[in-house]
Homo-oligomer: A and B are copies of this chain.
Amino acid sequence: MKLVTAVIKPHKWEDVREALETFGVAGMTVSEVSGYGRQKGHTEVYRGAEYDIALVPKIRIEIVTDDADADDVVGIIVKTAQTGRIGDGKVWVSPVDTVVRVRTGEQDASAL
């Protein structure tokens, strides 16, 4: 099994979710995170004090998949989340020994 982790721009999340659903991904886990990288943040002003906010909001998606599907999933995410502008994010794949569905105790493929 593989774990595909994607960090993307918030407003792209919805398209990614739809694309993955169409492809057949049955579930995923999502969280709000902050990104630091080439994309620069913004400046805020409060009573004349200027603050540079370096972090930018991102959406982090975790998908456990079969080895077979991993590349497709990555491809779909990259295709859908791409805007071409700095800060589009990263996707990485890492190995998973096993995954279990809590409700049933089913393992691996049948757990997804």
Do B64 and A92 have beta carbons less than 8 Å apart?
yes
Residue in B30, B70, B85, B93 whose CB lies within 8 Å of A55 = B30
The interface residues of chain B lying within 8 Å CB-to-CB of A101 are 88-90
The interface residues of chain B lying within 8 Å CB-to-CB of A5 are 62
Residue in B3, B36, B91, B97 whose CB lies within 8 Å of A102 = B91
This protein's copies in its complex: 3
Do B94 and A96 have beta carbons less than 8 Å apart?
yes
Residue of B whose beta carbon sits closest to that of A67: B97
The interface residues of chain B lying within 8 Å CB-to-CB of A7 are 29
The interface residues of chain B lying within 8 Å CB-to-CB of A97 are 2, 70, 92-95
Q: List 30 A-B contacts (CB under 8 A).
A: A2-B97, A3-B94, A7-B29, A27-B35, A27-B37, A27-B38, A27-B90, A29-B33, A29-B90, A30-B36, A31-B34, A31-B60, A64-B90, A64-B92, A78-B100, A78-B102, A82-B105, A83-B103, A84-B103, A85-B103, A88-B102, A89-B101, A89-B103, A90-B100, A90-B111, A91-B100, A92-B97, A93-B96, A94-B94, A95-B95
